[in-house]
Amino acid sequence: MTVAPDRDPWALDRTFEGPTGTVRWAALGPADAPPVVLVHGTPFSSYVWRDVARALAGGHRVYVWDLPGYGVSEMRAGQDVSLAAQGRVLTELLGHWGLDRPAVVAHDFGGCVALRAHLLHGARYERLALVDPVALAPWGTPTYRLLGANADVFAQLPPELHRALVREYVSSASRRGLHPAVLDRLVEPWCTGEGQAAFYRQIEQNDQRFTDEIQGRYGELRLLPVLICWGAGDTWVPATKGEELAKLVPGAELRLIEGAGHLVQEDAPAELAGELLGFLHRSRS
């Protein structure tokens, strides 16, 4: 039976006390199956992975988590939610889970997080799939840059105007349009008192220097199987970035997913899951 989006029982029932706050996480699938770690981006949460996670969990142990400052993980004033901090958190989480070489699948800013964990902090992966990642300069939509440059001003918006802004912003990541209940689920964490401040905090703290620090090192991924999936209709990070990234990563495979925007997980979950399953089951050449 299909669960209606507004009654979806997605829940992160475990916690990890990380250096930048409490992380909520969950694991799906057989405990002894090959591990896969899913990393979400901004301004989303692990909820965007729910369909793909369940598809992968038939033959894998799938780990999902909300980054500190996102979703149901801890949000607080003064919190370091930069991409630098998130890369360290992912590295520590892998140790907490006892995972030496999991497969990692990362979307949007999660791509930068996974790349930083691997290239800067020594996190080891069995293989890496990047879905519409933030990995190459220049990046950041005009709206994103405006919000980051004026975070203190936007954080003072009346709650109803803030909610409308976040709804419009999140909606623009999908080409096909989000189910209203899905949109509500993605927007709601940002609409509490703590959430409103956290929304602008995470934008203010992140800029291009976090990808500049690693962009010149993508050639080091030559021994790691890498799949790059991209929504062909992505208006946040255009598919041409996928082509550029594939040229910088030796041996990387590029798959464009037609009919999908930046939120490929919502626009084409079956197609994305199919690409990921094929990649996870592929033997090293």
**Blockwise average pLDDT, block size 10, the chain, 285 residues:** 57 96 98 98 98 98 98 97 98 98 98 98 98 96 91 96 98 97 98 97 95 98 97 97 98 98 98 98 73
Radius of gyration in angstroms for the set of CA atoms belonging to the chain, rounded to a whole number:
17
pLDDT digits (tens, 9 = 90+) for 194-203: 999 999 999 9
pLDDT for 9 equals 79
Rounded Cα gap, residues 202 and 122, in angstroms: 25
Residue length, the chain?
A: 285
Other CB atoms within 10 Å distance of the CB of residue 108: 27
Q: Which amino acid belongs to residue 175? A: R
The residue assigned the tokens 């976090």 is: 210
Q: Is 141 exposed, middle or buried (0-12, 13-18, 19+ CB in 10 A)?
A: middle
Q: Of 241, 229, 215, 208, give the one whose Cα is nearest residue 280.
A: 229
pTM for the structure as a whole: 0.96
The b-or-e profile of 167-194 (16+ CB within 10 A means b, else e) is bebbebbbbeebeeebbebbbebbbeeb
Tokens of 153: 């001003």
Q: How many CB atoms lie within 10 A of CB 198?
A: 25
Sequence letter at residue 254: L
With vertex at residue 166, the alpha carbon angle to CA 165 and CA 171, rounded to the nearest 5 degrees, is 105
Provide the CB-side half-sphere exposure for 203 (13 A, CA): 26
Tell me how far CA of residue 116 lies from CA of 30, 215, 251, in angstroms.
29, 10, 20
Beta bridge partners of 21: 18
Which pLDDT score, from 0 to 100, does residue 3 have?
45
CB of 174 within 8 A of CB of 266? yes
CA distance 178 to 96: 34
CA distance 93 to 70: 16
